[in-house]
Every structure is written in C-alpha cells, then in structure tokens.
Amino acid sequence: MVRAYAWAVCNFFYHRYFSRPPIREVVYQCHASFLCRICLLGTGGQKKLFFMKRKIFLFLAIVSVVGMIAISGCKKKETYTVTFNANGGTGTMSAQTFTEGEAQTLTRNAFTYDGYTFTGWNTVQGGSGASYTDGQTITATANMTLYAQWTSNGPTVTFNANGGTGEMAPQTFTIGRAQALSANTFTRENHLYSGWNTSADGSGTAYRDLQEITISENITLYAQWHEYVDLGLPSGLLWATCNVGATTPEGSGDRFAWGETAPKATYNWSNYKYCNGNYNTLTKYCNNADYGNNGFTDALTTLEASDDAATANWGAGWRMPTREELIELVNNCTGEWTTRNGINGRLFTSRINGNSIFLPVSLSDNDYYWSSSFSTRYDEDGGMYSGACSAHCLYLIYSSDYGYGVTNNYIWSYFLRCAGYHVRAVCSSQN
C-alpha cells in the first residue's frame, strides 16, 4: 500500500512538471513571479526554467518515497496467540505469543496421557487439520488452538476380510479399558457379514460388530460370512445356503427349541425357557389364557430378535423365516429328494430363476425346520398341541412307507415349541 502511494506521488510530479510545456504556457505560468524574468530572456531562459522544474520534481519525488518508506517501517506489527489443548491428556501449557512475520519455535509439549504417546499437534481435535511437530518453527498468521495428538501404547486388533474385499485400519486398545470394535466395512459377493471371530473358520472366540471388548495382547479378528441364494422369490427374500450351526449345505447344524438361541442336550417342557415346566404354563408368546401361566397372555405372534436363533447366532442381518415365507418357498420351487455327500435331503429349485437350496434331513426319514411364527389357534388338521404351545415349521419326510414325494413338505402348526428343530436363516434383499 505504501509503495503504491509513493508511485502515485512520483507519477503526479512527473506529469505535472517533468513533461516540457509549450513556450507560451511557460511564459504564462511564470508571469508576475521571480521566474518570469528568466522567461523574458528568450528561448534560452525557457530552457533554464524547464531544467529547474526537472530538478524540483526529482527532489520532491525522492522526499516522498523516502518518507513513505520511513512511515511504513514505523508501523506496529500484529501479535497472535497460539493456545495448546491437551485433547484428553493432562497437564498445563501457557499460551504462546507470536509476532507478525517472525518465525518462532513452538513450545515443547508438556502434556501427558496415561497409556498414550504424544505424536504432534493439529489444528483440529480429531487430527484432520494442519499438523505440526513438537518444537516446529512456524510463522503464525492468526490466533489458533493446537490440539495434542496421541497414539495408544496398548495392544492392536487387526481385521482380516477372510474372503471378503475392502480395507480396515488396525485398531489400538488401551489395556484394562473397554472399547467398541470398529464397524465392519468389508464386503463379499453373495455373502452377508455375521460378526468377528479369532479363528478364520469360526471356531474361536466370536464377537459382534461394534461389541465392546477388553484385550491385553494383539489379536486378529476374521470377518465371518454366510452365503445366501437368490431364488427370485416375489418378496425378494434371500435364503442361506446352510443351516445355523453348519458350515456346508449338507451339514445338519444345531437344533433349537422355538424361542431359544442356544442348542442343548435335551428338549422338553421341563427345561423350556418360556414356561414353568409344562405346555400350559407359558410365560411369553401366548394369546390364550388356557396355555398361559396363571392365565398369562401377550400380543406377540412372531419371535423377537432376542429370541431368534438366526439373529442371535449370525447377526442382525439374519433371522428365521415366518410361516408365510416358508409357504412362499414351497409354492415357488419344485421339490426333489436327493443325496449330497451321503446325506438325504430335499432340493428346492426355483421355478423363477433356477437357483436352488438343499435342506438336509438328519433323522432317519424326516426332519423339521422352524419358522418364527407361533400357532395362534387350533387348525383343522391340528390336535391338542395346535394351540399357543406350538409353533409353525416346515416338515420334510422321506420314507419307504410313503414313497418318494408323497408327503413332500407341509406347513404344520402343532409341533411343540419345546422341541429341538433346525433353523435355516433368511435375510432381506436390502442387505
């Protein structure tokens, strides 16, 4: 700004005095003055006047420029304050003052954070801003706050896609402190993520997505996947390729009582979760007082997620099919009894797109697959157990007494809830 002003002054004097004017103009301007006598000397006098003005111009220009520079040199410089934030650490640090245009070394970090190592400063608390090293020389241009950045000294969790794709950064933990696992970002074609495990094959310790854990040493967590098949069903529902608890399509997997999420050695009313020892003492999922404990009833007709064996074992994306969804499977697929790796079962092949799923029969000639729907009334073909103490399931039977495909598949409503049956999970097409 000062330089521009000085240039303007010089330019004014140049055009005002340095350009040589016509003789008549000089004579006119010098009239009634001491210089006028020089003009009367003739052409030579006018030349003397011109050079005199030139000297005056040079003198005034130099004075203006020097004066402006002197004034600018006397301007007071701005000062800026740098404030230090511990960002989770402890201790105190005084704010540091910087002078405009002058480089200065940042005050050395004095904060501490138990279990963490200081790694530098950043203008943003989360570390996404401008970074500075400890003791770095900087030139401040405005007031700012620098946040201490920390790296944990604790153990690290490494995430393995286990057949999936994508990248996940290792996660550092602090010993003795519970911390939520990073959310899964891996993906895998035709598979749905179902949690983490310390073993690739799922035989180790299992963890849910975002579960809070405490660790004392480095571990690797492997993403767990379950494959699904798109049968082109009208609902868009996707069916798992194997039973809950199995790792292959012909594997039997685990058995569950309806509404329970863990397998057990025996299945009867005496150890059923939601009753007091008998079929007519139900404590949940009961719409008939004759079956409720002391007349208990509720409005629940479908398993809640906490009681769904598929959800509990495979994760939130999976669930047990409803009665209507079992019917949709049967109505939109052809059925064929077949054997896979020595295991009998029924192959359901879609009439829509030709894809198929295999449901193994692990008993001698029949087997059962739970739905998530319980029986709300006596059905015409039901018996004493077709009421609230029973739940709907898919019944598969293969017997020489009936021949192939005579009783291919039924949706029965009078199988006791305390019985241990298979679960074939489903997931939404939106997953």
- For residues 368 and 394, the answer to whether their CB atoms sit within 8 Å is yes
Q: How confident is the model at residue 400 (pLDDT cuts 50, 70, 90)?
A: very low
296 shares a domain with 403: yes
414 shares a domain with 271: yes
Question: Which pLDDT belongs to residue 260?
Answer: 98
- Per the model's pLDDT, the better-predicted residue between 318 and 65 turns out to be 318
Which CATH number do you get for residue 137?
Answer: 2.60.40
pLDDT at 297 over 60: yes
89 shares a domain with 32: no
- Domain interval for residue 48: 2-73
**14-29 as b/e, with b when 16 or more CB fall inside 10 Å?**
eeebeeeeebeebbee
372 shares a domain with 304: yes
140 shares a domain with 95: yes
349 shares a domain with 266: yes
Question: Which pLDDT belongs to residue 378?
Answer: 55
Number of domains into which the chain is organized:
4
Q: Please give the average per-residue pLDDT across 317-342, as a whole number.
A: 94
375 shares a domain with 329: yes
Of the candidates 152, 181, 197, which is a domain's last residue?
152
Question: Which pLDDT belongs to residue 174?
Answer: 84
368 shares a domain with 267: yes
3-state secondary structure the chain: CHHHHHHHHHHHHHHHHHCCCCHHHHHHHCCCCCCHHHHCCCHHHHHHHHHHHHHHHHHHHHHHHHHHHHHHHCCCCCEEEEEEECCCCECCCCCEEEECCCCEECCCCCCECCCEEEEEEECCCCCCCCEECCCCEECCCCCEEEEEEEEECCCEEEEECCCCECCCCCEECCCCCCEECCCCCCECCCEEEEEEECCCCCCCCEECCCCEECCCCCEEEEEEEEEEEECCCCCCCEEECCCCCCCCCCCCCCCECCCCCCCCCCCCHHHCCCECCCCCCECCCCCCCCCEHHHCCCCCCECCHHHCHHHHHHCCCEECCCHHHHHHHHHCEEEEEEEECCEEEEEEEECCCCCEEEEECCCCCEEEEEEEEECCCCCCCCCCCCCCCEEEEEEEECECCCECCCCCEEEEEEEECCCCEECCCEECCCC
Q: How confident is the model at residue 406 (pLDDT cuts 50, 70, 90)?
A: very low
Of the candidates 228, 244, 268, which is a domain's last residue?
228
Question: Which pLDDT belongs to residue 11?
Answer: 54
pLDDT digits (tens, 9 = 90+) for 117-151: 999 999 999 999 999 999 999 999 999 999 999 98
100 shares a domain with 184: no
346 shares a domain with 201: no
How many Å apart are CA 385 and CA 406, to the nearest integer? 24
pLDDT digits (tens, 9 = 90+) for 212-262: 999 999 999 999 999 999 999 999 999 999 999 999 999 999 999 999 999
96 shares a domain with 218: no
* pTM, 2 dp: 0.67
Question: Which pLDDT belongs to residue 363?
Answer: 72
pLDDT digits (tens, 9 = 90+) for 161-213: 999 999 999 998 988 889 999 999 999 999 999 999 999 999 999 999 999 99
Of the candidates 183, 212, 228, which is a domain's last residue?
228
pLDDT at 29 over 50: no
How many Å apart are CA 351 and CA 361, to the nearest integer? 22
377 shares a domain with 242: yes
pLDDT at 410 over 80: no
Average of per-residue pLDDT values in the chain: 83
